[in-house]
């Protein structure tokens, strides 16, 4: 039998949790009490008591053009998609839009949305006891059958906890009753779900289009047959790609490393294999788009030209976990683009993927889209391009009217280090591309680099400075009297070793080393026309800790939330001192997670999550990296990484003979 919310509360407030935890739970109590008082009346309270006093009230109003408003029926499966960042970021997320339309297309289900309220709204909601609500029906998200979070970025984890608190849903899965919704997660961070494992009932690994249909079927049966929460979790664990963390328990040795992972004797797979859509042409893709009230970070409709990237950059997690490359048919893409524009009124279409320049029919696709969309003055954008003059040619084709900046991801300053990371880009490629860009009318270029990559030396940092100097020289020669307009932006991130990559074994540079490297670049790039920026090194440290973290970090996350950590991905909110205190209070060491070289034989927290690429392949690739050797990409030669051998999927290219 499930417990009532009051029983849960009484149990949760036992003194063993300590004073500070109890104090924090006041939000939970307030929300439970007041949300029941205001059930059905949230909208009125929000409109009269909250919206007049917050910035950008339109973030919380719902009712956008194309938003789906279904009537609530008892037997429907009700899903709320929860995005742990602000509205403007969440509204630009393609995955969320796909799931929104897919679920709403089913008659037996409905889908609504909620986003993390900005801090002013959050405080007012706590103050007034208003629970987190959905934008479509203004219902508390506690009322839904499923709350689905997107695990997009490690630094949004604290926001997930805040959203659960604000909803009055117990934070930990073990504390939820049959009356609480099923709290589910998916997205790229699901490939190492352990730091957040205790907060979710189910975590879906891999492509979501088919998995979400299985989830709806599961919940529909659970509702119809009156299953308990436990029964639902048992059945969920039988579905491929569904990870139920409560059926797994890591055991640690005296050094803090994982000794073993104890799986429930009956429930859950030994390894949870990712879900993968074999044929994107058959996969669901919406031809409608929500049109937001507040300008999102990317104000455009998106078509996904391909999924996966076969290049094999050794630092790139997305490149490995979304293998193999699968391209969509160009005619289908045309239809989707036209329908999206017609149904939304947007004036820009973005061709998205991890590397859209690699799409084997990219030139003809762009040309036909320009022809078909140009009449209505709809423009195109290609957010990810290769560093070569072909890309510049393509960019000038699609940016004939307004030239936005060109971005080139070089990642490393020397040929040697680019071989280590398997980035197939040469300095000649870059110089030729920038030369073509200057000739085509561009004055500004942006360069991306990473510091702290494995085997990096001062020569590699000097290489970054050298590249920038060469580009300035090229600018002087090509731009002539217009040289005053030349702008070279250099953006430098810190290397974060990610799970499911050949560099998952590597250490991140400690902050004092990162600081020295950043200072070196700052000093040497003080040149006219050059703008240098680098990522906050402590945010990169937290990212590294949580990317490869284990289940013990859930305590740290809870403590960090108690201390006030929120919106950690936002510079103005990130407070490293609070994080340091949270780690200290929980007796855990950040360095253990971020600055330690991991043995090949060590059991990693994510080893039971199967991305398809074998650990042996990652070890081999790591060794190839140390030898500074190149590995061909999927399109050149299959290296038998494991994905196409072990999963029911193959690389799909629209032009079979396409070479990189
Ligand atoms: S099995 Fe081969 S083609 Fe498939 S993803 Fe791996 S390397 Fe690429």
Q: CA torsion, points 498, 499, 501, 505, in degrees to nearest 10? A: 80
Q: Please indicate whether residue 3 or residue 645 has the higher confidence score (pLDDT).
A: 645
CA of residue 423 to ligand 1 center, whole Å: 17
Which residue of 274, 319, 634 sits with most ligand 1 atoms within 8 Å of its CB, as the best mutation to test the pocket?
A: 634
644 lines ligand 1 (CB under 6 A): yes
* Cα–Cα distance for residue pair 436/614, rounded to 1 Å: 41
Q: In the predicted model, what is the mean pLDDT of residues 363-388?
A: 82
pLDDT by residue (tens digit) across 21-46? 333 444 444 444 455 455 558 899 99
CB 200 within 8 A of CB 265: no
3-state helix, strand, coil in the chain (%, to 5): 45, 15, 40
* Cα–Cα distance for residue pair 21/13, rounded to 1 Å: 9
646 lines ligand 1 (CB under 6 A): no
Q: In the predicted model, what is the mean pLDDT of residues 637-652?
A: 96
Which residue CA neighbors atom 8 of ligand 1 most closely? 634
Q: In the predicted model, what is the mean pLDDT of residues 117-145?
A: 96
653 lines ligand 1 (CB under 6 A): no
Would you state the pLDDT for residue 127?
93
324 lines ligand 1 (CB under 6 A): yes
* Cα–Cα distance for residue pair 347/592, rounded to 1 Å: 49
323 lines ligand 1 (CB under 6 A): yes
**Residue 321: pLDDT over 90:** yes
Q: In the predicted model, what is the mean pLDDT of residues 645-653?
A: 95
Q: Find the helix or strand (DSSP H, E) in which 577 lies.
A: helix 576-586
* Cα–Cα distance for residue pair 466/473, rounded to 1 Å: 11
Of the pLDDT bands very low, low, confident and very high (cuts 50, 70, 90), residue 213 is very high
Would you state the pLDDT for residue 75?
93
**Residue 48: pLDDT over 50:** yes
Over the chain, what is the mean pLDDT? 91
Q: Please indicate whether residue 148 or residue 377 has the higher confidence score (pLDDT).
A: 148
Number of the ligand 1 atom closest to the C-alpha atom of 645 = 1
* Six-digit token string for 363: 């030139």
pLDDT by residue (tens digit) across 540-579? 999 999 999 999 999 999 999 999 999 999 999 999 999 9
Q: In the predicted model, what is the mean pLDDT of residues 72-81?
A: 96
Would you state the pLDDT for residue 402?
59
241 lines ligand 1 (CB under 6 A): no
218 lines ligand 1 (CB under 6 A): no
Would you state the pLDDT for residue 18?
29
632 lines ligand 1 (CB under 6 A): no
Question: Three-state SS across 382-415?
Answer: CCCCCCCHHHHHHHHHHCCCCCCCEEEEEECCCH
634 lines ligand 1 (CB under 6 A): yes
CA of residue 642 to ligand 1 center, whole Å: 7
* Cα–Cα distance for residue pair 350/384, rounded to 1 Å: 10
CA of residue 339 to ligand 1 center, whole Å: 33
Distances (CA, A) of 181 to 43, 61, 141, 526: 21, 23, 8, 54
């Amino acid at each position: 039998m499930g417990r009532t919310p009051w029983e849960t509360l009484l149990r949760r407030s036992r003194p063993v949790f300590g004073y500070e935890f109890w104090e924090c739970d006041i939000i939970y109590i307030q929300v439970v009490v007041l949300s029941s008082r205001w059930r059905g009346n949230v909208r009125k309270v929000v409109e009269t008591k909250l919206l007049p006093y917050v910035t950008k009230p339109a973030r919380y109003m719902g009712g956008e053009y194309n938003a789906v408003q279904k009537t609530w029926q008892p037997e429907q499966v009700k899903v709320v998609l929860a995005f742990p960042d602000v509205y403007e970021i969440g509204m630009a997320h393609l995955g969320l839009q796909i799931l929104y339309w897919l679920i709403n297309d089913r008659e037996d289900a409905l889908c609504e949305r909620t986003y993390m309220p900005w801090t002013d709204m959050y405080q007012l909601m706590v103050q007034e006891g208003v629970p987190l609500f959905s934008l479509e029906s203004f219902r508390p998200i506690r009322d839904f059958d499923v709350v689905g979070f997107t695990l997009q970025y490690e630094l949004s984890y604290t926001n997930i906890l805040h959203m659960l608190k604000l909803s009055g849903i117990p934070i930990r899965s073990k504390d939820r009753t049959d009356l609480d919704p099923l709290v589910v997660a998916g997205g790229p961070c699901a490939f190492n779900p352990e730091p957040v494992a205790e907060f979710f009932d189910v975590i879906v690994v891999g492509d979501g289009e088919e998995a979400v249909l299985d989830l709806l079927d599961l919940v529909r049966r659970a509702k119809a047959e009156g299953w308990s929460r436990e029964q639902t979790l048992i059945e969920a664990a039988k579905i491929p790609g569904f990870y139920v963390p409560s059926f797994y328990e890591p055991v640690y040795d005296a050094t803090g490393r994982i000794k073993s992972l104890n799986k429930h004797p009956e429930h859950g797979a030994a390894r949870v294999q990712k879900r993968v859509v074999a044929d994107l042409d058959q996969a669901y893709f919406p031809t409608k788009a929500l049109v937001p009230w507040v300008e999102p970070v990317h104000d455009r409709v998106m078509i996904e030209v391909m999924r996966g990237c076969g290049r094999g950059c050794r630092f790139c997690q997305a490149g490995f976990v979304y293998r193999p490359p699968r391209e969509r048919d160009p005619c289908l893409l045309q239809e989707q683009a036209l329908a999206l524009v017609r149904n939304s009124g947007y004036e820009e279409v973005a061709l998205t993927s991890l590397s859209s320049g690699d799409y084997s029919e990219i030139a003809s696709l762009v040309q036909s889209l320009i022809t078909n969309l140009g009449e209505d003055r709809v423009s195109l954008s290609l957010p990810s391009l290769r560093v070569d003059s072909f890309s510049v040619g393509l960019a000038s084709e699609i940016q004939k009217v307004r030239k936005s900046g060109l971005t080139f991801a070089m990642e490393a300053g020397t040929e040697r280090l680019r071989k280590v990371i398997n980035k197939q880009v040469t300095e000649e490629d870059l110089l030729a591309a920038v030369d073509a860009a200057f000739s085509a009318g561009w004055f500004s270029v942006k360069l991306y680099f990473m510091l702290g990559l494995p085997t990096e030396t001062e020569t590699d940092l000097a290489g970054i400075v050298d590249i920038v100097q060469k580009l300035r020289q090229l600018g002087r020669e090509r731009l002539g009297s217009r040289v005053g307009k030349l702008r070279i932006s250099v953006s430098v991130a810190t290397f974060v070793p990610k799970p499911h990559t050949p560099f998952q074994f590597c250490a991140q540079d400690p902050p004092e080393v990162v600081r020295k490297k950043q200072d070196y670049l700052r000093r040497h790039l003080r040149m006219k026309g050059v703008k240098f920026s680098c990522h906050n090194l402590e945010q990169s440290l937290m990212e590294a800790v949580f990317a490869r973290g284990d289940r013990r970090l859930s305590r740290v996350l809870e403590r960090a939330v108690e201390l006030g950590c929120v919106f950690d991905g936002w510079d103005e909110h990130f407070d490293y001192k609070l994080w340091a205190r949270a780690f200290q209070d929980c007796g855990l060491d950040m360095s253990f997670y971020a600055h330690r070289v991991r043995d090949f034989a060590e059991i990693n927290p994510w080893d039971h999550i199967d991305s398809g690429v074998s650990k042996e392949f990652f070890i081999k690739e790591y060794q190839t990296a140390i030898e500074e050797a190149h590995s061909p990409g999927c399109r050149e030669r299959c290296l038998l990484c494991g994905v196409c051998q072990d999963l029911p999927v193959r690389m799909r290219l629209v032009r079979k003979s396409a070479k990189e």
